[in-house]
Structure 1
């Protein structure tokens, strides 16, 4: 990785951390709050690509594990990775990598609809799946109840996806070399 890549990774990890300062919204159905940090995860993959997006999210998680209170609500430390909500956190680098990979695969025919569909697939097939499976394993909640409870996140995550699409489109136009040949 070049110095420029390292700086981009660090900036996106910082952006994800900044989004953690926005207050979480508790959800009555399952013990997982609504947060803004998924927006940074989606953008990491869409703008940086698979490898750098993965690295930015992983750096963020390492900082959280080291005890920095970067998660929404000022949480941090290794304990957050052993809670019922940890599946959502653990999915962050994989969600960004998935989005970045498919943005690269379809880079020559990347229409607005394909971009949004790739972001949706990353969020709903990676982040939500990791989250629901982990939630059922850690809390003993029935999979169908966890899945139904998880549906409460869909409208807000669609807003984050649309915002990520709009921001990523502008960033890629303003900084076309940022994503580069990253797969």
Structure 2
């Protein structure tokens, strides 16, 4: 794939992640102040579709836009201050999670798309993301790791639904245009 096309795909996925932030987040009293958003679906999808490097690059581009103040996070949040709040660990984990999703897809490139992308989304988009999000929540919400992990359980059902959605989307993409799943090339 040419560099120009890669840049276009990276920009498109950064825009998709940003657009998913327009959907209002839902902050639950049990979640420690971290909103439930659709953006993690975009993070998973970026890695599953674009692969590890391009997926992480799309997420990094999105985070740069957020850091400079563009209000792309739910509730119209943006600016450097978002990296010092309860969701900071999740934000920092976004590009690593997308990278991990892409790596898993690449490792499972000879498997059927649906189970491979579901595994990628669960391992990278939930497992890896929570490994950053939970410690961030503990630090910025002044909670013990156990309490932060317990509070994060409220997000698990929704994230599993998002992972399933990513697998459905990836399967649809592979049927319509298999070469669009760059993570499997």
Pairwise mapping of residues 68-147 of structure 1 onto structure 2 (< 5 A)? 68-110=70-112, 112-147=114-149
Retained in 1: the 8 A contact 2:17–2:43? yes
User: Per the alignment, do residues 170 and 181 of structure 1 end up closer, same or farther by CA in structure 2, a change over 3 Å counting?
Assistant: closer
Output the CA distance in 1 between the equivalents of 2:155 and 2:183: 33
Q: How many residues align?
A: 183
Retained in 1: the 8 A contact 2:101–2:124? yes
User: Which runs of 5 or more structure 2 residues have no equivalent in the other structure?
Assistant: none
The equivalent residue for 1:168 is: 170
Segments of 4+ moved more than 6 angstroms: none
Retained in 2: the 8 A contact 1:50–1:182? no
Deviation at 1:181, TM superposition (A): 6.7
TM-score by length of 2: 0.92
In the alignment, structure 1 residue 13 sits paired with structure 2 residue 11: no
Retained in 2: the 8 A contact 1:103–1:110? no
Give the CA RMSD over aligned residues. Answer: 1.6
User: Which runs of 5 or more structure 1 residues have no equivalent in the other structure?
Assistant: none
Pairwise mapping of residues 142-153 of structure 1 onto structure 2 (< 5 A)? 142-153=144-155
TM-score by length of 1: 0.93
Retained in 1: the 8 A contact 2:113–2:170? no
Name the SS of the counterpart of 1:46 in structure 2. Answer: helix
Output the CA distance in 2 between the equivalents of 1:157 and 1:142: 23
Retained in 2: the 8 A contact 1:51–1:182? no
Deviates more, 1:57-66 or 1:82-91: 82-91
Deviation at 1:8, TM superposition (A): 0.6
Output the CA distance in 2 between the equivalents of 1:44 and 1:91: 14
Deviates more, 1:168-177 or 1:56-65: 168-177
Output the CA distance in 1 between the equivalents of 2:183 and 2:155: 33
Output the CA distance in 1 between the equivalents of 2:135 and 2:61: 24
